[in-house]
Structure 1
Amino acid sequence: MQPRWDVLGWWEGIAVEGDAVTRNRLRTDLNHLISWVLLGSAATTIVTGIIADAWDLNGFRTHTIAGYVMTVAALAHVALSWGRLVAYARFRTRQLRRWLAATVQRGATSSTTATGPHAPAARAAPAAGAASTPSARAARARGAVAHAGSGNGAVSRRRLFGIAATGAAGFVAGRGLRPPPVIPHGSDLGVVYHEWSKPGVTDALGTLTSWGGKPPLYKRYDGVPRLTLPDRPLAADMSLPDAIQRRHSTREYDTAPLALEQFAALARHAGGLRDQRTDRRTAPSSGALYPIELYAVVNGVDGLDPGVYHYDVRRHGLSLLRAGAVGGDVMRYGLDQDFLAIANVVFVLTLIHQRMRFKYRDRSYRYGLLEAGHLGQNLYLTATAMGLGACAVGAFHDDGINELLGVDGREEVAVYLLAAGNRAA
């Protein structure tokens, strides 16, 4: 018979004869190869799944591809092993039938024995093919030894697979490790932080271990005066495109008091709950963790005494933290920008680090500042839609503002000021 070259001839390195023994060996080798592919794709799927969960990657292509490869490999493995699976199922079915028959027979024998003495039943003859004589055991042992002796090629292939798998794991780990950042000489702290907060794949696994627990999603002050804000639809005739086009920073304000309904709308639409039945808010947040807290320094709002308030997101209300006019303090801490003492209200956005740190580690500060920007734009557009003015301030004395709010300046820090109120004529 002329040898034919099989597609898998590269694996054996020789011409493959078309007999059953060679085909079975090729099938076994292919099944082993698929098993390794299945193992690798399963491990990749698990690791990428952890990364996707840790970083909220909704469209992680690597995870999707690994899942498809794992599915195809599993189906191929089942197809190649189908004959063995069917034989195993039939074997177990026959065993079950024999066990049931033996159980029924023992029950019948016990019932018959109870009615009178009988001779002991003869031991059932072993089933065909189930005899275990010394010669049969010796034959099986010789076969096992012969198989082991002829399996040197299989052992070398297993070693080859092990080396390849180890190398692949090392390559993936090396690609995932964060390389030392290249920081130009004389770079400022922002550049240094940006470089050091670039993630590697292995950093996602660290989110499962060592960065502390998850703090409460809501901050609440007990033992202080509280006020529930009106919850009415936003009274605005301006469309969203018009509000975006007309938005600008206002630094001149009228001293006429701001309506309480307008104040409530500013707080609600800046960072309040969209629906009291859920925790979702009007601004996006990485992992829905919402690290930004909203405080209000009230200078002139109908129904509110001047002072420092905390906005209770869950209850759409205020907690009075400090009574009395403090607009002058805000102006002083805001580098003497006088409109901070004139505007009807100055909102202060603070960042609670641990709300994101436990999950996003070094990148949490990036995300927190982004979210402060989301709330700031919401407040700008809401004020513009109601015909009010707004102005964001990023330059201020941190320690002074933190002390004014009563936050520690370490775990919770002021990051943004936003003045709002009636525009000057």
Structure 2
Amino acid sequence: MTLRRLFYAYLLVLHGVAAALAWHIARGSVWGLLGLEAGLAVSVAVGAWLIDRLLRAHALVRESAQLLEESDYTTRFLPTGQIEIDRLIAIYNRMADALRAERVRVREQHHFLQSLLEVSPSGAVILDHDARVDFVNPAAARLLGPDVRPGLPAHAEGSVLHDVIDAVATAPSALVTLPGGRRAKASRGTFMDRGFSRTFLLIEELTEELRQAEKAAYEKLIRMLSHEVNNSVAASNSLLGSCLVLAEQLPGEARSDLEGALHVVMNRTSQLGAFMKAFADVVRLPEPTLAPCNLHDLLNHLRRLMAAEADRRRIALVMELEPVPPVDLDRTLMEQALVNILKNAIEAVDHDGRVVVRTGISGAQPFLQVEDSGPGLAPEVRAHLFTPFFSTKESGQGIGLTLVQEILTRHGLAFTLDGPDGGPTRFTIWFGSH
């Protein structure tokens, strides 16, 4: 039973008892009885009026509580003419105005931050209280790959996000290697959300910045070494040539031995000069002259070029070429890059395997992919992809992938090199259509 009904029931019972007593007392006098009954009627009316005024405040509180529970801050109460109730109404209306303004401010701020994260070039990942991914902005999805999505456990074994979190577990920031050999700075922080601490990750790609810094360093080193070695080789060859002339004055057997030794030394100095020229070619790489190119023609030419080496190692060189439109590139430079990519793929397989060359279109974008059945990329190797002078081969110079990276970057092409430990390894190049 509501409070209003309780009040009215109490009022009726009280005045009913009073009416019975009045009738009992004044039953001998009609006018006296009528007077008492009239007084009781007036008392009931006054009591009902007072109860109604009293319960208006109660109704106001009840309706206000319901509106607040429903988060309705737009409804306003009008003054009633009662001082106490009007004071409550004024307080509620001011409170509703303040709450509504605060909600609008919070929503606008949330929308601003959401928009900022959506267009930010830095990746942002927010975890929930259960260490699951709650939010991934487009930059983070691009850097970490499509597998990192809301709902994914942050510590899922084998995921890129797991590796990033491990890298920043003991430090606020760290350099990490992402799929495709890209490098980034990962930072970890926390913020308070409704009284609880939550974790966020910021990932800033530094691939181009690090590449430029490394390029400046190795260009300076190569120029210095090339200058010193070429000068030394030229002087040495000149002296060795003079020695060959002098050797002609020696007796037969001694002359033959000396000439043989001098030719060995001259051959080694020539090889040293060729070795330095390979490094210098990376520094002196020309800017690409772009022209429409048929990828299939280029790849069929490269297949004929690499067929002998593949056959010697008993490696199947498979072409899976789907139709693609002509692409803008410098054919000479791109051929140089693709020769290095195919050579690396064949050497990774070593013997009795396969190298697959694919073309196709994904998301309206032409791509070229070279996949080998080799052992894949070990974590320690993946961390140093495209690092100048780094090589896993005993006689490797570590300039092949550096040259490939430089050529593709000058073309403005996106590319990835990735593969799990155990294979396969895939080198993918994305082209803009002509």
Instruction: Give me the TM-score of the superposition, normalised by structure 1.
Output: 0.18
- Tell which structure's C-alpha radius of gyration is larger: 2
Return the structure number with greater relative CO, CA threshold 8 A, min gap 6: 1
